[in-house]
Amino acid sequence: MALAAKVDGFDVFCSSIALDNFEEMEKSAKSIAKKLNSVYYGLDKDDTSHLYIVGSVGRKTAIKGISDLDILFDLPLDTYKKFDAYQSNGQSALLQEVKESLQERYPKTDISGDGQVVVIEFNHYTVELVPGFKQSDGRFKYPDTHNGGNWKYTNPLPEQDACQVCDDTSNGIYFDFCHIIRKWKNEQGFKFGGLLIDTLVHDHFEDNEFYKNASIDDYFDILKNLLSYLGEQDKDRTYWYAVGSNQQVMNSGNGAFVDRAKRALEEISAAEPEDNVSTILQQLLGNEYPVEQPVMENATFAVCSFDHTEQFIQSLFPVDIRYSLSLDCEVRQNGFRERLLSAILRDRQLLRHNKQLDFFITGTDCPKPYDIYWKVKNVGPVAERKNCIRGQIEETNSQTHQEHTDFQGSHYVECYLIKNSVCVARAHINVPIGVA
């Protein structure tokens, strides 16, 4: 096995998915802090004090396309006493006060305060601001407006410290794999919370001394080991203990990552004997993972020419999968429904020609409003010979999409939900069409 050839792409891939707009996000965070420092502390020019960038950006595990920036602002004790004295939902009143202060700074920006955060909608990302009160033990008390209002606690700083230590002791590999797993999640289109990703990758690294002396040449094996570890988790588990803080991090995605990891590892293992690993890695991780094209020497045959019309969602929108989305398809002929495509795929059968395919969204937990985009990709020599690979991404805002089985090949259909100019959900369904 030529391992080196299989891992050549990781260096380029990790660079291509790195967070690329931190400076812009930091500028926004400092602008917010400057306003709040002026309002609550009388510090008119201070844009850094009392500000904490938290979440995946703060933990340095965010990747290109992230759609939200989490910040925490430490408010004075007098402010806590003021709103804690309210007889009814002082927490909501606090959020509204902070919202109104920021609305003065951003009069033309959509700002809302509800639940636990003040949300500021910028053009390319959303800032979720938690107004908190730092405690003597380092935790932060913050408002929760639900059920009449109460105070909760969060402890993000030890999480950041633990992530940094793990990265330091693994020669930078820890952050890379937090990024890789995020990209895999975004590419395959399933929910997998960022803090849970960072926690599980951390726990796996802590259990393997080998990673302290590993290098880029080991990334392929590390990926396989990590997928195996993820596939061994209990998908019905309610929560895990977060890295650094030991706070409960909930299984919000219903453990979808467990079966996905098992499937990914199976696909990689099947490709290894065929020396086709890089192609599978690109399918799993996205087209940013480079695949070396074979060079044909002394070719005496004409290569079929076709238009490369395929589009990729990450080229059109930032991708940050936060919601689930599922598809199915009614297979019809002469106006009568024969079967669901999911049943045909489950039985490992092929579709025949002259079928009508009615794709439809079976479910999503993404709140409206959102825009719906569809992509149809024809794969194989017949599609290339007919110059009909397609692959364009089109906005239809329709829950359904109709196609027909025209020619042989392993085709597929994808659907995307776009919310606030970010792809927040995606789903993929294969369409294998056999010989008539």
pTM above 0.85, yes or no: yes
CA distance 308 to 388: 9
What pLDDT sits at residue 296? 46
22-154 maps to CATH 3.30.460.90: yes
Residue 300, pLDDT > 80, answer no
Q: Where are the beta strands (DSSP E) in 75-134?
A: 110-114, 117-121, 126-134
What pLDDT sits at residue 293? 62
* Mean pLDDT of the region 328-340: 84
Parse the chain into domains and list their residue ranges: 22-154, 158-265, 305-433
- Is omega for the bond preceding 369 within 30 degrees of 0, making it cis? yes
* Mean pLDDT of the region 194-210: 96
50 and 133 Cβ atoms separated by less than 8 Å: no
Reported as a pLDDT band with limits 50, 70 and 90, residue 347 is confident
3-state secondary structure of 37: helix
3-state secondary structure of 357: strand
* Span 106-124, pLDDT tens digits: 999 999 998 999 999 998 8
Look up the CATH number of domain 305-433.
Answer: 2.60.40.10
Buried b (16+ CB within 10 A) or exposed e, 367-392: eeebebbbbbbbbeeebbeeeebbbe
Name the residue with higher pLDDT: 124 or 19.
19
* Mean pLDDT of the region 28-38: 98
Residues ≥6 apart with Cβ < 8 Å to 119? 111, 112, 113, 126, 127, 128, 129
Taking residue 6's Cβ as centre, other Cβ atoms within 10 Å add up to 22
Name the residue with higher pLDDT: 293 or 48.
48
- Burial of 289 per CB tally in 10 Å (0-12, 13-18, 19+): buried
Quick one: the chain helix, strand, coil %, rounded to 5?
40, 25, 35
Residue 139, pLDDT > 80, answer yes
267 and 259 Cβ atoms separated by less than 8 Å: no
Alpha helices in 120-209 (DSSP H): 156-169, 173-188, 194-206
What pLDDT sits at residue 306? 64
114 and 95 Cβ atoms separated by less than 8 Å: yes
Reported as a pLDDT band with limits 50, 70 and 90, residue 1 is very low
What pLDDT sits at residue 2? 36
Parallel, antiparallel or unpaired: strands 390-395 and 371-377? antiparallel
Which range has the worst mean pLDDT, 15-24, 304-313, 314-323, 408-417? 304-313
Round the average pLDDT of the chain to a whole number and report it. Answer: 91
Taking residue 55's Cβ as centre, other Cβ atoms within 10 Å add up to 22
What pLDDT sits at residue 409? 76
